[in-house]
Amino acid sequence: MGSGNARLMKKHDFPGRLIVVEGIDGSGKSTQLKLLYRHLATLDYTVFLSEWNSSPLVKSTTSLGKKKKLLTPTSFSLIHATDFADRFVNHIEPLLKAGVIVLADRYAFTAFARDAARGVDRDWVRNIYEFACLPDAAFYFKVPLAVSVDRILTGRQKLKYYEAGMDVGLSSNPVESFKLFQKRILEEYDLMTGEFGFTVMDGSLPIEEQQERMRASVHDMLAGFAGLRKGPHQEALR
């Protein structure tokens, strides 16, 4: 699968901690991250949540590209990298420097999985994200394809064009295309599990049980972590 020639993200030595969740749509990762956020916020740590594809800088460009179906696998990859770069340099990195626990709902691995599923070169997309740092923990929420597809399809009206991977041309039927596309993404995540040392979470377990395991794992990771403590002015937030 060769990430042999790619220059990769490196470990950071900032005082903060970076925890990311990954997984296909409907794997339950956002739900789990939100619960982790609530938990950490009750403790003495300063916590910040960062979501994928949320930079105001490129929002209008991404929407235009999706609406008019202008995005190719390469430009799709690059516009999301632009979005990520903006959030990384303006939010994630300064917060890590300040000693904050940053929780990221999807990270560079989402790009690695999706863009490779669209057929771009794996080394090429890994190299783009070279400026970012490796997270301290990456939880990969693994669910059988049928489960995630069912969760997504019951919850909404219609699949969007790029979400269903219609641009890849796997099938002219959106639901069929979505399934085939998600299958490819799942395969990419499985390949990355060893490459990046993901902590694999069984996304088909009850929500509470997953959260219990996640919290235990995060507590282990935070042993001896000082970080940025909340000041008295944040008392009301607890």
Residues that bind another protein (CB under 8 A): 7, 57-58, 60-61, 64-65, 68, 70-75, 78-79, 81-82, 85-86, 89-90, 118-121, 123-124, 127-128, 130-131, 168
List Cα–Cα distances, 222 to 43, 137, 217, 226, in angstroms: 12, 10, 9, 8
- Closer to another protein by CB, 54 or 61: give it: 61
- Closer to another protein by CB, 127 or 193: give it: 127
Minimum CB–partner distance for residue 192 and another protein (Å): 19
- Closer to another protein by CB, 57 or 216: give it: 57
Minimum CB–partner distance for residue 86 and another protein (Å): 5
Minimum CB–partner distance for residue 2 and another protein (Å): 11
206: left (phi over 0), alpha (psi -120 to 50) or beta: beta
Minimum CB–partner distance for residue 92 and another protein (Å): 12
Minimum CB–partner distance for residue 87 and another protein (Å): 9
- Closer to another protein by CB, 102 or 117: give it: 117
CA atoms within 13 A on the CB side of 174: 10
The contacts of residue 14 (CB under 8 Å, 6+ apart) are 93, 96, 97, 99, 133
Q: What CA–CA distance (Å, rounded) separates 35 from 31?
A: 6
List Cα–Cα distances, 34 to 28, 50, 76, 191, 229, in angstroms: 10, 11, 27, 26, 20
Coil/strand/helix, residue 27: coil
- Closer to another protein by CB, 168 or 180: give it: 168
